[in-house]
Amino acid sequence: MTKTVYCLIIILLLISLMTSGCIEIKDDSEGITALEGLEVAEEVALNWSENAILIGVRKGGSIVSGGVYSSWSYSYAASDNVSTRVEKFGVGINADMTYNTREYEGTLRHNPIYNWNIDSDEAYETAKDNDEIQEFLSKYERATVERFTLFGGEGGSDPAWKIHWSSMRGFADPKHAEIRINARTGEVIEVDADK
């Protein structure tokens, strides 16, 4: 084979690994935590609707370090009436505090998020200190954070962080680990990790 063919094979392999999540590209920016972007998101959402209610937070962009990302996404609803279609609003906050927005309509499937004080970097540290998560990450060293979300508690209970790792090993079934952490107290609620 020629050098060109080898280079093409390597490029295709790298693209395949990046899209499968085995290789995660890191951004050079400093990044932000979820609470750092919240103030800007709240201001933008309240300009959209004075009744804006936070219903979801999730990682955006690329990972900078544990719980710190190049951006975070915040979802709002204009009503907390779960039986009707509601207006929704999404705000993406970047590390430099610039933002983008999106309006859409749908049913309210998430509970409102109130009074959370455990930031994303704190939640990540709590997760990494958990014995089951440590065991999973030591066994599946290439696991990456697939989802990092904050959602409201049911029936007025505390909001919770959910961090989900996924590991791909060749053609084998992917392995997963997930932890839920109380976003007010930092207490671990539930852990589920493949062995």
pLDDT tens profile 50-107: 999 999 999 998 999 999 999 999 999 987 655 567 789 999 999 999 999 999 887 7
Contacts of 36 by beta carbon, 8 Å cutoff, 6+ apart:
119
Give yes or no for residue 24 having a pLDDT over 70.
Answer: no
**What pLDDT score does 11 carry?**
57
Could you give the CA distance from residue 184 to residue 195 in angstroms, rounded to a whole number? 29
- Terminal CA-CA length for the chain: 41
Residue 2 lies in a domain: no
Residue 18 has pLDDT above 60, yes or no: no
Residue type, 186: G
| Residue numbers of the domain that contains 134 | 34-193
> Is pLDDT at 148 greater than 80 in this prediction?
yes
What is the predicted pLDDT for the residue at 86?
Answer: 78
On whether residue 1 sits in a domain, the answer given is no
Total domain count, the chain:
1
Query: Does residue 13 lie within any of the structural domains?
Result: no
Q: How confident is the model at residue 28 (pLDDT cuts 50, 70, 90)?
A: very low
Joined together, the tokens standing for residue 179 give: 């932890």
Determine, yes or no, domain membership for 21.
no
Asked if residue 104 is part of any domain, the answer here is yes
| Residue 25 maps to a domain | no
Q: How confident is the model at residue 21 (pLDDT cuts 50, 70, 90)?
A: very low
Considering the domain boundaries, does residue 15 fall inside one? Answer: no
For residue 42, tell me if it sits in a domain: yes
**Percent share of the chain, pLDDT over 90:** 64
